Amino acid sequence: MASSSSCPILCASFNQDNSCFAIGTKDGFRIFDTNTGKLCYERAVGGFSIVEMLFTSSLLAIVGAGDQPSLSPRRLCLFNTTTEAPLRDLNFLTSILAIRMNKKRLIVILQDKAYVYELNSLSILDTFDTVPNIKGLCAFSPCLDACYMALPASTTKGSVLLYNVLDCNLHCEIEAHRSPLAAMVFSSNGMYIATASEQGTLVRVHLVSDATKQSYSFRRGSYSSTIFSLSFGPSKQLPDILAATSSSGSIHLFTLGFASHLRSKRSSGFLGSIIPDVVNDVLDPAYHHVLHNAVPAGVKSSAVVCKVENVVDTSTSPSELLACRVNMCVITYNGYFQEYNLSIDAQKLSWSLGRETNLLTVTMDKVP
């Protein structure tokens, strides 16, 4: 089993619309175009543990890996890739574990504190203590209409605190799992949040506006692996696909589109189509598909669903969802970018690897 701690990539993140992604290494950081695989920008000045983009703008939030005094893990640098100059530094007493941004807010996560800044002025709006959060777990919605941040509420169970960071108030607490959280993510519209625990057998999806009610629950089976990342599909309405990477090297896909379609047949009401009759309802295993051995076991990875095309039979009333075509991209911390083309119907998954690129050897003038 490979170890993520020995991998050449120290951090990897997609931007808010998944059109670009950034990686940090011991030598510097690099930005790529997701659609073409083209290397768009690189800077080799030392190690970086956090590199976060703001959509496709020139603004980056970067944190050093601590291998030299100028790249302290306690300093956040807002950096302009066009002028190649720092805009502003923010210094903290302890190491920065996570950074999140949207067009209005900047979030800084430390082990036991969270800071909320107004992005344009960098005025601090809120500071609050958190439970010990050594992994820097944080989910943040890029949508300003549902501008929520999620943080762990406990170190012994998988409860989640949801904050509205535009209004700076606590929205609610979700009792999502019995064991501590391993991963969480918001849908692109901020309406749903998906969570996984360290136990790793259940992935739950909640409707944020009424988060006491669970919308979906997927059982992965008796897996001993840990979920590394979660990602919703790009739908602006009800999410249609949820992807999860794991320490076993498998990638799990949960087809929410088929599940919601089946529910819509059972109920004519809107809530009936998305909220199960029983809160603890676990969806049929037919909605769970696995790409085995997609990544070397033990190597950290991050996946996003970039595109979903639904194939619908319009001759029926209501129209029937027959299949969906999915484009999924994966970054592995041993240095690779993978693009998968998937076809999923109600019963099976077929897939092909469309592209694989070594992120460490691509040069500025070379498109894979």
103 or 6: whose pLDDT is higher? 103
- Please check the confidence at residue 263 and state whether its pLDDT lies above 60: no
| Residue 13 token pair | 């993140």
Residue 91, both tokens:
């210094």
Contact 332, 304 (CB under 8 A): no
- DSSP lists the bridge partners of residue 236 as none
> Which residues does 224 contact at the CB level (< 8 Å), separation at least 6?
200, 248
At residue 194, the 3 state secondary structure works out as: strand
pLDDT tens-place string over residues 108-145: 999 999 999 999 999 999 999 999 999 999 999 999 99
pLDDT category, 58, cuts 50, 70, 90?
very high
pLDDT of the residue at 73: 98
Tell me 298's DSSP state: T
Structure token digits, residue 231: 């990602």
CATH class of 9-136: mainly beta
Contact 14, 304 (CB under 8 A): yes
Q: Which whole number is the average pLDDT over 311-325? A: 78
Q: How far is CA 133 from the centre of its chain?
A: 17
Residue with tokens 């009333």: 317
Cα–Cα distance, 214 to 243 (Å, whole number): 18
Q: Cis omega before residue 318 (within 30°)?
A: yes
> Model-level pTM?
0.90
Query: What is the mean pLDDT of the segment spanning 271-291?
Result: 55
What's the pLDDT band for 213 if we cut at 50, 70, 90? low
- Nearest CA to 231 among 29, 3, 12, 5? 12
302: pLDDT strictly greater than 80: yes
Q: Label residue 276 by pLDDT band (50, 70, 90).
A: very low
In terms of Cα–Cα distance, which of 16, 34, 117 is closest to 330?
A: 34
Specify the pLDDT at position 86.
96
Domains of the chain, by residue range, sit at: 9-136
Say how far apart CA 357 and CA 339 lie, in whole Å: 9
Cα(149)–Cα(190) distance, integer angstroms: 9
Position 119 scores a pLDDT of 97
Please tell me whether residue 287 adopts helix, strand or coil conformation.
Answer: helix
How crowded is residue 92: how many other Cβ atoms within 10 Å of its Cβ? 16
Rounded CA-CA distance 37/39 in Å is: 7
Placement of tokens 């979030």 in the chain:
107
Tens digit of each residue's pLDDT (9 = 90 or more) over 139-168: 999 999 999 999 999 999 999 999 999 999
Structure tokens at 37: 């695989």
First to last CA, the chain: 28
pLDDT of residue 184: 96
* Alpha carbons 158 and 342: distance in angstroms, whole number: 31
Q: Which two tokens stand for residue 186?
A: 């918001």
Q: Which residue do the tokens 């970039």 mark?
A: 306
Q: Which two tokens stand for residue 249?
A: 């090297």
Dist CA 11 CA 34 (whole Å):
16
CB-count burial class (<10 Å; 0-12, 13-18, 19+) for 9: buried
Which secondary structure element, helix H or strand E, spans residue 260, and what is its range? Answer: helix 256-266
